[in-house]
């Protein structure tokens, strides 16, 4: 089959760029994919994070048409014309932010006029910490879709209600297996990263943002009798001093290490090898690419019951699930993890999860939806 797909890739940083790159790679194993990406994405004044290129020495790249300029709508028309001229069997759009609504509306309308179905792959219906009005924007944007693939059961049910009669599927977020395999012992990894040896060590990884609930994790650590250590590794989108002030108030400054930097691909394995467990104390959100890195490395996860996290992390098997925004429950789960010595059994279960969370499940779903859409009448212009 033949696909057109829009999304971020290298040199952009973060989980969405990684996800899109891996998706294109896997689809190209069986199909022709024309991949359109951005030569300029978010303007600096609108984006709270670092917009510098991914600094990794080991990069993830695929061939892409880097022609979309967020600040130049003429490039939207250029992409739309290219898609129509290419005549793919389906156009795959990704939804995670209303920022791209104008681009999506234009290219989807052009695709429909040409009889090209649009498949929306939704990472999250609304952004964490967003206002209630964002759902209305999302609904307006997603109305352009002829079929939907959701990454959580909850959002799958919402889209079924919002767009009855349109094909809708739910797929697990696949394993982020592009990172280098672990080649060190935990001790070697800790020495490389300057982390303490022979202590219980938790990892909190990725961009530091308000919705990730790190403040609750710090409160939980203060409630645990044993000296559990924590490394927070990732680029801070919030003032680092706020977290340092909380550490001082809680008396945790000597047990929590802040590595405020974007972790390049070549250093990811060291963090996931050094840790005893990954902690995801999110208070909102849909899914987590960080959790899928943990699956890749077989690292147990202690997470909150937010979005689709409990669909990836099975409580008591490959990790532990607790209610969000509850530092007491989180403290008890962390204590249980170390007191009951469940790390080895959870690592084994996490490795078994890799097949269930494979890319083949997602690409097969895309293929099935494409066949279904192609067998029906050409989609009506919306």
Contact in structure between 235 and 49 (CB atoms under 8 Å)? yes
CA dist., res. 42 & res. 208, Å (int) = 19
Q: How far is CA 4 from the centre of its chain?
A: 21
**pLDDT at residue 48, as a whole number:** 67
CA dist., res. 227 & res. 198, Å (int) = 11
**pLDDT at residue 377, as a whole number:** 56
Q: Is 28 exposed, middle or buried (0-12, 13-18, 19+ CB in 10 A)?
A: middle
Per-residue pLDDT reduced to its tens digit, 288-308: 999 999 999 999 999 999 999
Q: Which residues pair with 203 in a beta bridge?
A: 231, 278
**How high does pLDDT run on average in the chain?**
94
Per-residue pLDDT reduced to its tens digit, 111-146: 999 999 999 999 999 988 777 788 889 999 999 999
List all residues 6 or more positions away from 38 whose beta carbon is below 8 Å from its beta carbon: 8, 12, 66, 68, 69, 70
Q: How far is CA 176 from CA 179, 251, 290, 338, 378, in A?
A: 7, 35, 8, 26, 35
Q: What is the pTM of this model?
A: 0.93
SS3 string of the chain? Answer: CEEEEECCCCCCCCHHHHHHHHHHHHHHCCCEEEEEEEEECCCCCCCCCCCCCCCCCCCCCCCCEEEEECCCCHHHHHHHHHHHHHCCCEEEEEECCHHHHHHHHHHHHHHHHCCCCEEEEECCCCCCCCCCHHHHHHHHHHCCCCEEEECCHHHHHHHHHHCCCCCEEECCCCCCCCCCCCCCCHHHHHHHHCCCCCCCEEEEECCECHHHCHHHHHHHHHHCCCCCEEEEECCECCCHHHHHHHHHHHCCCCCEEEECCCCCHHHHHHHHHHCCEEEECCCCCCCCHHHHHHHHHCCCEEEECCCCHHHHCCECCCEEEECCCCHHHHHHHHHHHHHCCCHHHHHHHHHHHHHHCCHHHHHHHHHHHHHHHHHCCCCCCC
Within 10 angstroms of residue 165's Cβ, the number of other Cβ atoms is 6
CA dist., res. 103 & res. 107, Å (int) = 6
Report the Cα–Cα distance between both ends of the chain, in Å, rounded.
Answer: 24
Low-confidence ranges of the chain (pLDDT < 50): 378-382
C-alpha triplet 280, 286, 291: angle, nearest 5°:
40
Within this chain, domains 2-174+358-375 and 186-356 share the same CATH topology: yes
Domains in the chain: boundaries: 2-174+358-375, 186-356
**pLDDT at residue 45, as a whole number:** 64
CA dist., res. 253 & res. 245, Å (int) = 9
Contact in structure between 1 and 373 (CB atoms under 8 Å)? no
CA dist., res. 34 & res. 88, Å (int) = 9
List all residues 6 or more positions away from 326 whose beta carbon is below 8 Å from its beta carbon: 216
Fold entry, domain 2-174+358-375: Rossmann fold (3.40.50)
Architecture of domain 186-356: 3-Layer(aba) Sandwich (3.40)
In the chain, % of residues over pLDDT 90: 87
**pLDDT at residue 298, as a whole number:** 96
């Amino acid at each position: 089959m033949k696909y057109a797909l829009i999304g971020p890739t290298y040199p952009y940083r973060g989980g969405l760029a990684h996800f899109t790159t891996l998706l294109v790679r896997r689809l190209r194993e069986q199909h022709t994919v024309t991949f359109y990406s951005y030569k300029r994405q978010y303007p600096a004044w609108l984006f709270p994070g670092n917009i510098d290129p991914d600094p990794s020495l080991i990069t993830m790249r695929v061939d892409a048409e880097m022609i979309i300029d967020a600040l130049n709508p003429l490039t939207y028309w250029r992409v739309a014309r290219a898609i129509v001229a290419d005549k793919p069997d389906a156009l795959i759009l990704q939804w995670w932010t209303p920022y791209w609504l104008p681009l999506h509306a234009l290219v989807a309308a052009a695709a429909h006029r040409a009889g090209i179905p649009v498949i929306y792959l939704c990472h999250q219906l609304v952004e964490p910490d967003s206002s209630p009005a964002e759902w209305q924007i999302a609904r307006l944007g997603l109305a352009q879709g002829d079929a939907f693939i959701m990454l959580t059961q909850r959002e799958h049910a919402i889209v079924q209600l919002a767009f009855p009669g349109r094909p809708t599927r739910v797929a697990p977020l696949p394993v982020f297996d592009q990172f280098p395999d672990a080649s060190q012992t935990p001790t070697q990894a800790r020495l490389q990263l300057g982390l303490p040896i022979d202590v219980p060590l938790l990892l909190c990884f990725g961009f530091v943002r308000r919705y990730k609930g790190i403040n609750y994790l710090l409160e939980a650590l203060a409630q645990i009798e044993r000296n559990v250590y924590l490394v927070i590794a990732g680029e801070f989108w919030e003032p680092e001093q706020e977290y340092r002030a909380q550490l001082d108030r809680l008396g945790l400054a000597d047990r929590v290490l802040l590595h405020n930097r974007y972790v390049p691909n070549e250093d990811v394995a060291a963090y996931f090898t050094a840790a005893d467990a990954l902690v995801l104390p999110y208070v909102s959100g849909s899914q987590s690419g960080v959790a899928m890195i943990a699956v890749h490395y077989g690292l147990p996860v202690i997470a909150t019951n937010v979005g689709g996290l409990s669909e990836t992390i099975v409580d008591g098997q490959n990790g532990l699930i607790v209610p969000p925004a509850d530092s007491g429950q989180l403290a008890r789960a962390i204590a249980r993890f170390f007191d009951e010595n469940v790390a080895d059994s959870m690592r084994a279960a996490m490795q078994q999860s890799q097949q269930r969370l494979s890319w083949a499940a997602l690409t097969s779903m895309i293929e099935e939806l494409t066949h279904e859409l192609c067998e029906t009448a050409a989609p009506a212009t919306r």
